[in-house]
Amino acid sequence: MDWRLNLPTGKTWINQGAYRVPRGIIALHRFMQKDLIHFLFKKTLTPITIMVIPHENLKSLNLKIPFLGILLLLLVLAIGAIQTCRLVADGLRYPSLVKKVNFLNEIFSEWNSTITSLKETERDFRRVFSLKSKHKVLEETDTSYSGDIDIQNLMDELQRTVQSVDEIKGYLRVQKNLYLSTPRGFPLEGHISSHYGDRDNPFTGERTFHSGMDISAPLGTPIRTTADGVVSYSGWTQSGGHLVVIEHGCGFSTVYAHNKENTVKIGQKVRRGEVIGHVGSSGKATGPHVHYEVWEKGKRTNPEKFVQGGS
């Protein structure tokens, strides 16, 4: 069954979808809408009286504020409250932010320190390897320990670079220790009067083995150590007279015999070229000279291979 109203058409009726509505109702509806807008606009401009009554006997204060003004004030207060909450939240996060900033500053500082260290090491390597002689390179090499280079979260490439630098410096440190411990050059200025090996004994005339090198020089000529080391013996022996033994490390030691006097004591550290005594003829000797021996890994060796090419 069709429940739609079949109303007659005419000037007093208009179509509204499936229905027909009188024009008067439409006009009334539009009038009510305009009246509602006018009513709301009027209400927003209607002032609201706020009375301020002081505690003392003073005149009360009346404030007339439009309703729209109060709405705007409430809106401003709401926005202010939201901003205040955001500022409070940022304030609560401030300590953690400061901690993060400090941590990053430490990382950047360590990074900068590492880069500076690498640049200094590169500069040292360039300076050292610009020297043409191996002896000069080892003499000028600085292998002092400068601390661990370890930076948290550093790139793998930088870590490998630092590791390579440490390996190079470690190698140079070993080579320098070996260089400083290896006897080099003559212990004094003079001439070789007897070589290492078999010879005719000056006292018996028999063919015997000579365990060192005899270097003749005027009485009192300074005797200098041929490598860095520690004095392990400084005293008198029946055949060697005043005698000095120095341990150099890396398996090397040297002996200086027939001295007029020794100027070092047991346990004293000496550097290459430092005076340890003076030429004499003490003990079993035919004249003023130094009996010089080089020991390597507990065995006597020919000193001539150490005196050649250096002094």
What is the set of domains in the chain, with CATH numbers? 13-45 (no CATH), 104-181 (no CATH), 191-307 (2.70.70.10)
Prediction pTM value: 0.52
| Tens place of pLDDT per residue across the chain (311 aa) | 444 444 444 445 555 555 555 656 656 566 566 666 666 666 666 777 777 677 666 677 676 777 677 778 888 888 888 888 888 877 777 777 788 888 888 877 777 777 777 777 777 776 666 655 666 666 665 555 444 444 444 556 666 666 677 777 777 788 888 888 899 999 999 999 999 999 988 888 889 999 999 999 999 999 999 999 999 999 999 999 999 999 999 899 999 999 999 999 999 999 999 999 999 999 999 899 999 999 999 999 999 999 875 54
The answer to whether 161 and 118 are in contact (CB under 8 A) is: yes
pLDDT for position 252: 94
Contact 262, 268 (CB under 8 A): no
For residue 291, the cross-strand partners are 214, 257
Give me 307's structure tokens: 């005196």
* Buried residues in 43-68 as b, exposed as e (16+ CB within 10 A): eeeeeeeeeeeeeeeeeeeeeeeeee
Q: Is the dihedral of CA 232, 234, 238, 240 positive or negative?
A: positive
Residue 152: predicted pLDDT:
46
| Tokens found for residue 79 | 């926005």
Element (DSSP H or E) covering residue 17: none
Residue whose C-alpha is closest to residue 229's, from 251, 249, 257: 249
> What pLDDT does residue 309 have?
57
